[in-house]
Amino acid sequence: MPDSQRFIAAATVTVDAKAHDIWAVWVDVNGWKGWDAGIESSRLNGNFKEGNTFTLKPQGADPLEVTIKTVTQGEEFSDETVLPFGTIRNFHRMEQVDGRVKITHEVEATIEGDAVGFFGKEVWPHMQSGVAESLGNIADIVGND
């Protein structure tokens, strides 16, 4: 079995907002390009629920099929993209903290064999920087203080 490498990035922001407003931004998959500059387009296939998929086209790349793995309505969801050279998982969570909402986004990529070098140099830096940037954009949309 070829060697693999895990890449992990996470960011958290706390906002003065209603959890349902954040949830509305998350479940509007077709509108994700409005807060994630790394996305050229995205389209939900069916409803936002576990097991359904969406098509995501990163900037300058081919479209990907992403599977919604878990959904806890109004709190968190995760998704997974299986690629020929590995798997990318995203975890989106929110929790109430002292009248505010703490939002966390974590990305975990497990990349196999010969693709590790290319992914680490050409793809990961953009994904990694996009995590905090996209959270900041969501905070702006939902009314950060």
Q: What is the pLDDT along the chain (145 residues), one digit of tens a residue?
A: 458 999 999 999 999 999 999 999 999 999 999 999 999 999 999 999 999 999 999 999 999 999 999 999 999 999 999 999 999 999 999 999 999 999 999 999 999 999 999 999 999 998 999 999 999 999 999 985 4
pLDDT at 143: 82
- What's residue 3's pLDDT? 87
Cα Rg of the chain (Å, integer): 15
Residues 93 and 84 sit within 8 Å (Cβ to Cβ): no
- Can you tell me the distance from the alpha carbon of 63 to that of 61, in angstroms, rounded to the nearest whole number? 7
Say what the alpha-carbon torsion angle 2, 112, 71, 98 is, to the nearest 10 degrees.
110
